[in-house]
Amino acid sequence: MTETLTWTPTVAPSALEQYGVAQAIVGGTKIALYAVDGDYYATADLCTHGQASLADGYLDGDLIECPLHQGTFNVKTGAAVGAPCTVAVRTYPVKLENGVLHVGMES
């Protein structure tokens, strides 16, 4: 069975200009959106290690650092790449449409 995506508008890219990361809520799920080298990415906002918001973290290139224990994730793949994080964070597709970032979620 093929899943279809429901695209939900979130924020304008300008919301990511200052820190490269912003939070949005899509279908009741908190999502962290990232701007990296002119492209946009989205992950679940909750760190898999310590119940902290990744949107409150520090974005360095394509790595987001959790503000709680400084573990890191690759925002492009969701992979946990820095201790103490060991479990990947979920990723979501993002598209820019009519000046707004849309996040795709399975429906």
Strand order across the beta sheet in which 94-97 lies = 5-9, 100-106, 94-97
Instruction: Name the pTM for this structure.
Output: 0.93
pLDDT at 50: 82
Q: What is the pLDDT along the chain (107 residues), one digit of tens a residue?
A: 457 999 999 999 999 999 999 999 998 999 999 999 999 999 999 999 888 999 999 999 999 999 999 999 999 999 999 999 999 999 999 999 999 999 999 87
Determine the Cα–Cα distance for residues 37 and 26; give it in Å rounded to an integer: 24
pLDDT at 1: 46
Determine the Cα–Cα distance for residues 85 and 73; give it in Å rounded to an integer: 8
Supply the range of the domain harboring residue 66. Answer: 5-106
- CATH number at 52 reads 2.102.10.10
Determine the Cα–Cα distance for residues 103 and 107; give it in Å rounded to an integer: 12
Number of domains forming the structure of the chain: 1
